[in-house]
Amino acid sequence: MARRIKRFFSAEFVIIALMVLTIGLSTFFFIKNIEAYDYVIETNAFFAPFEYYDNREIKGVDVDIVNKLAEKMGKTFQLKNVEFDVIIDNVSDGIIADAGAAGLTITESRAEKVDFSIPYYTSVQYVIYHRDRAPVITGDHIIWESLAGSSLGSQTGGTGYLFMSDEVESGVLEGTNTIVKGFDSHQLAADAIGAHIIDYAIADELAAKFIVEKNPTLAALPLYYSGTDGMPDEPAEESYAIAVNKKRPELLAAINEVLTEMLEPGEDGKTEIDKLILKHMGLTDE
Ligand code: GLN
C-alpha cells in the first residue's frame, strides 16, 4: 500500500499534474478575458481632447461617449489603444474590434468599409508652425499655396495626412518640391518642427490648439483653400463620427441614440459634447 501511494505521487505525476493545471488555468483566463467584454472599441489615445492618457487611464470626449453608451446599453465595453492607422480596417474586419471612437472624420473611402454614426463634431485642418518661422499668413488663416516648397508632417493615415498628400501629388502643391512626412501622432509631428525635421505640421483644429497651448514657441492657424473666381478662401469642414462594423446595427443604433441626446442643447445653449470638449481641453474645472 505504502509503495502504491509513493508511486502515485511520483515526480512524473506531480510534473504532469502541474502542467495540466497550468494549461487549464491559462486557457480559462484566456477565454474569460476574451469574453469579458460585450464590445471592443478601438481608439488612439494621442488625440486630446478626444482621447489622451492621464497617467495610465485613457480619458477624453470619446471615452465619455463610450461610458454613456455602456450605461445605456447595459453592456460592457473595452476601449483599446491601437495605432490610429489600423482602426478603420480592424472595425471593418470586425474580428478584434466592433467599433472605433477616435475623432474619426467621415470620408467616402472609410464609409465603404465601416458604418458611421451621426456626426458629433465639426472640425477643420490647422497648420502648426514655429513662431520664429511662420509661413505667409493671409489675414487670420494660411492658404495651402503658402506651404509650397516646405516640408510638411502629419499623423499617418489621418485626414490631415491624406489631404496634404493629395495636394502634393495632384493638387495645388503638385510640382512645388513640397515634402510630406508621416508621424505616429499629431504631437510627434509638432515636436518635429522644434527639431527642424519639418517646417509645418497639419492637424485637426482641437488637436492643434491643444498642442500649441502647451508649447509657447508654437502657434496654429486654420488651413484654407484659396477661393477661385473671386470667391473667398475657405477651409474644408470635416465631421467626426464613430465607426461601427457593418454587421452591428444594434450597436450603431444605440450609439446614434446616445449621440442624439448628447447633442441636444441644454438651457445654456450648450450641448453635453460642447461641455465635455471644454472640460477635456482643461478650460473648465468640471
Ligand atoms: N479626424 C482625423 C481623421 O479622422 C484625425 C483623427 C485622429 O488623429 N485621431 O483622420
Q: What is the CATH number of the domain that holds 179?
A: 3.40.190.10
pLDDT for 1 beyond 70: no
Rounded to whole angstroms, the Cα distance separating 160 from 155 reads: 7
Average pLDDT over residues 95-111: 98
Instruction: Check residue 12 and give its pLDDT.
Output: 76
| Residues 57 and 96 occupy one common structural domain | yes
| Residues 135 and 168 occupy one common structural domain | yes
Spacing, Cα 87 to ligand 1 middle (Å) = 10
| Residues 96 and 132 occupy one common structural domain | no
Instruction: Check residue 186 and give its pLDDT.
Output: 97
Residue 230 within any structural domain of the chain = no
Instruction: Check residue 163 and give its pLDDT.
Output: 97
Residue 232 within any structural domain of the chain = no
Instruction: Check residue 37 and give its pLDDT.
Output: 96
In this prediction, residue 22 has a pLDDT band, given cuts at 50, 70 and 90, of confident
Residue 163 within any structural domain of the chain = yes
In this prediction, residue 27 has a pLDDT band, given cuts at 50, 70 and 90, of low
Q: Which residue type is seen at 21?
A: L
Spacing, Cα 13 to ligand 1 middle (Å) = 57
Spacing, Cα 160 to ligand 1 middle (Å) = 8
Q: Rounded mean pLDDT of the chain?
A: 93
Best of 155, 163, 211 for a ligand 1 pocket test (most atoms within 8 Å of beta carbon): 155
Distances (CA, A) of 237 to 106, 107, 138, 205: 11, 11, 19, 10
| Residues 164 and 85 occupy one common structural domain | no
pLDDT tens-place string over residues 49-85: 999 999 999 999 999 999 999 999 999 999 999 999 9
Average pLDDT over residues 39-47: 97
Average pLDDT over residues 270-276: 97
Looking at 224, 248, 270, the residue that finishes a domain is: 224
Per the structure, the complete domain to which residue 208 belongs is given by 125-224
The three cell numbers of residue 166 are: 493629395
Average pLDDT over residues 269-277: 97
Give the ligand 1 atom nearest the CA of 155. Answer: 8
Q: Residues lining ligand 1, CB < 6 A?
A: 44, 47, 84, 102-105, 155, 158-159, 204
| Residues 84 and 174 occupy one common structural domain | no
Residue 233 within any structural domain of the chain = no
Spacing, Cα 261 to ligand 1 middle (Å) = 23
Rounded to whole angstroms, the Cα distance separating 41 from 58 reads: 13
Average pLDDT over residues 242-251: 98
Residue 235 within any structural domain of the chain = no
Instruction: Check residue 10 and give its pLDDT.
Output: 74
| Residues 111 and 249 occupy one common structural domain | yes
| Residues 67 and 138 occupy one common structural domain | no
pLDDT for 8 beyond 70: no
| Residues 136 and 213 occupy one common structural domain | yes
Instruction: Check residue 185 and give its pLDDT.
Output: 96
| Residues 15 and 70 occupy one common structural domain | no
Instruction: Check residue 25 and give its pLDDT.
Output: 73
Residue 285 within any structural domain of the chain = no
| Residues 89 and 106 occupy one common structural domain | yes
The tally of domains found in the chain comes to 3
Instruction: Check residue 7 and give its pLDDT.
Output: 58
| Residues 149 and 104 occupy one common structural domain | no
Best of 46, 105, 114 for a ligand 1 pocket test (most atoms within 8 Å of beta carbon): 105
More confident residue, 15 or 218: 218
In this prediction, residue 17 has a pLDDT band, given cuts at 50, 70 and 90, of confident
- The torsion of the CA quartet 119, 121, 127, 132, rounded to 10 degrees, works out to -170
| Residues 59 and 46 occupy one common structural domain | yes
pLDDT for 5 beyond 70: no
Residue 198 within any structural domain of the chain = yes
Rounded to whole angstroms, the Cα distance separating 149 from 254 reads: 47
pLDDT for 179 beyond 90: yes
Instruction: Check residue 20 and give its pLDDT.
Output: 81
Spacing, Cα 236 to ligand 1 middle (Å) = 14
Rounded to whole angstroms, the Cα distance separating 60 from 78 reads: 15
In this prediction, residue 188 has a pLDDT band, given cuts at 50, 70 and 90, of very high
Residue 286 within any structural domain of the chain = no
